[in-house]
Amino acid sequence: MDILKKLLKKNETKLLLVVADGLGGAPHPNYGYRTELEVANKPNLDKLARHSVLGLTIPVEHGITPGSGPAHLSLFGYDPIEIQIGRGVLEALGIGFHLGPNDVAARGNFATIHDGVVVDRRAGRISSEECSRLIKKLSEHIKSIDGVEVILRPGKEHRFVAIFRGEGLSDKLSDADPQKDHMPLVEAKPLAAEASRTADVVNKFIRKANEILRDEPQANGVLLRGFAKSPKIEPFPEKYQLRAVALAVYPMYKGLTRLLGLETPDVGETFEDEVKALKELWNNYDFFYIHFKDTDKAGEDGDFELKVKKIEYFDKFVPVFVDLNPDVLVITGDHSTPAIIGGHSWHPNPTLLHSKVAGVDDARFFTEKECAKGYLGIFYAKYLINLMLANAGRLKKFGA
């Protein structure tokens, strides 16, 4: 990366990175062994594909299924293996919570639990209002555990943030979340000797919270994962000499971009709000990131047809991105979330790059198979920002 820093140069170009979360899929036997992108009616994406170059990106490594954090780190040009960020930090920053040096943050899920088995990790995706009510209920009864302050904050839908504040706490803990439905509850385990006390505090909190919630009809338990302290990372605007802004609704993604130093305003609750803000802020920045969540949600729920509909909905906004006339436009996913799997997967991300100098290739549609034919080939997502900078004329020649 040192070589890239020596080649950077500033100009007036604008770069737009559009991320449809969990966009990629896998062939489904119930739909003629086609993916969601192949089934969807998406005339705008297909038209743009014929005037762009396509490829497939690998978020972390071949065969590795990434979480949203490392997948997004790659898109922003950071090595997700070298820089690992716990989900708790991202969730906390995403809701605007400032983490102190003695804080350990965790991503929380309200869940439905029966007889010690996690029936639904997302408690039916309860409303954000219901989440706030439940957090208030827990906060009234749990202030601290064994001298460790417990701070709870609601997120969107079933998500919340738990912060444990006290001297000598460690983030070296396993997740207290089985990660799949219809699995037994698990406790946090210390991954290092110094984390034993923290694990004990966390598990006592979970047991107490589940006792308080036991009479709730749906969200009658909590799961915690991604225990982490706040790391130090080189800011994205300094790393690439870009005035950068991030437009997202969900806390995790806002947390990541805030951690990376991108301006991350609170723009509303919907993708329409994000697109409106994109147009309003267009003259103020060089680099724009905008995030669409619904493709991932449908894929995680295993709902093939809903994911198709969400792709078709997303497609309606593509002319807005094109009409802004960015010097470089990229449309991709952070990771794939095939409905047939019902979760994140290792499948490469379909990627489209459009610029005045990128050219075109033989791909005719924006699908996984057509992207595999594309000029860009299959490459690591951490190099995508290099291609964006190059197409924007922001990299000088290397060598004589």
Supply the pLDDT for residue 92. Answer: 87
Residue 334 lies in domain: 2-85+233-391
- pLDDT higher than threshold 60 for residue 161: yes
Task: Using the structure block, give the residue that is written with the tokens 């020596």.
Answer: 6
Q: What is the CATH number of the domain that holds 153?
A: 3.30.70
Task: Using the structure block, give the residue that is written with the tokens 């379909």.
Answer: 350
- pLDDT higher than threshold 90 for residue 79: yes
User: b/e map of 163-182 (b: 16 or more CB within 10 Å)?
Assistant: bbbbeebbbbbebbbbeeee
Supply the pLDDT for residue 299. Answer: 97
Average pLDDT over residues 68-96: 89
In a domain, 398, yes or no: no
Helix (H) / strand (E) element for 354: namely strand 349-355
In a domain, 141, yes or no: yes
Tell me the per-residue pLDDT of 17-30, one tens digit each, with 9 for 90 and over: 999 999 999 999 99
Same domain for 162 and 77?
A: no
Same domain for 246 and 292?
A: yes
- pLDDT higher than threshold 60 for residue 230: yes
3-state secondary structure of 194: helix
Rounded-to-integer distance, Cα 120 and Cα 124, Å: 7
Tokens at 384, concatenated: 């995508």
Supply the pLDDT for residue 385. Answer: 97
In a domain, 46, yes or no: yes
Same domain for 75 and 217?
A: no
Average pLDDT over residues 229-246: 93
Q: Confidence class of residue 232 from pLDDT cuts 50, 70 and 90? A: confident
Same domain for 161 and 201?
A: yes
Q: Confidence class of residue 176 from pLDDT cuts 50, 70 and 90? A: very high
Same domain for 201 and 332?
A: no
Rounded-to-integer distance, Cα 111 and Cα 118, Å: 7
User: b/e map of 208-228 (b: 16 or more CB within 10 Å)?
Assistant: bbbebbeebebbbbbbbbbbb
| Residue of 385 and 232 predicted with greater confidence | 385
- pLDDT higher than threshold 60 for residue 1: no
Q: How many domains does the chain have?
A: 2
Average pLDDT over residues 209-223: 94
Q: Confidence class of residue 84 from pLDDT cuts 50, 70 and 90? A: confident
3-state secondary structure of 352: strand
DSSP per position, 53-110: EEEEEESSSTTPPPPHHHHHHHHTT--TTTS---HHHHHHHHTTPPPPTTEEEEEEEE
Rounded-to-integer distance, Cα 163 and Cα 149, Å: 8
In a domain, 397, yes or no: no
Tell me the per-residue pLDDT of 288-337, one tens digit each, with 9 for 90 and over: 999 999 999 999 999 999 999 999 999 999 999 999 999 999 999 999 99
Same domain for 155 and 284?
A: no
In a domain, 44, yes or no: yes
- pLDDT higher than threshold 60 for residue 166: yes
Give me the amino acid identity at 219: A
In a domain, 302, yes or no: yes
Task: Using the structure block, give the residue that is written with the tokens 């290092």.
Answer: 192
Q: What is the CATH number of the domain that holds 81?
A: 3.40.720.10
Average pLDDT over residues 213-223: 94
Average pLDDT over residues 115-142: 94
Supply the pLDDT for residue 80. Answer: 93
Supply the pLDDT for residue 252. Answer: 83
Same domain for 245 and 329?
A: yes
Same domain for 219 and 245?
A: no
- Rounded to the nearest integer, the mean pLDDT of the chain is 95
In a domain, 399, yes or no: no
Same domain for 176 and 320?
A: no
**The domain boundary residue, chosen from 199, 228, 257:** 228
Rounded-to-integer distance, Cα 194 and Cα 197, Å: 7
Pick from 384, 298, 328: which is nearest to 59 by CA? 384
- pLDDT higher than threshold 80 for residue 36: yes
Q: Confidence class of residue 95 from pLDDT cuts 50, 70 and 90? A: confident
- pLDDT higher than threshold 60 for residue 58: yes
Supply the pLDDT for residue 91. Answer: 85
Same domain for 41 and 130?
A: no
In a domain, 396, yes or no: no
Strands 287-292 and 103-114: unpaired
**The domain boundary residue, chosen from 211, 228, 245:** 228
Task: Using the structure block, give the residue that is written with the tokens 């504040």.
Answer: 165
- pLDDT higher than threshold 80 for residue 387: yes
Average pLDDT over residues 212-230: 93
Same domain for 310 and 257?
A: yes
61 CB-contact burial (10 Å; exposed 0-12 / middle 13-18 / buried 19+):
exposed
- Residue 288: beta bridge partners? 16, 245
Supply the pLDDT for residue 64. Answer: 97
Q: Confidence class of residue 192 from pLDDT cuts 50, 70 and 90? A: very high
Q: What are the start-end ranges of the H helices in the chain?
A: 2-7, 36-39, 43-49, 68-75, 87-94, 128-141, 196-212, 236-240, 251-259, 271-281, 294-300, 304-315, 318-323, 368-373, 384-391
Same domain for 77 and 27?
A: yes
**The domain boundary residue, chosen from 228, 243, 266:** 228
- pLDDT higher than threshold 60 for residue 116: yes
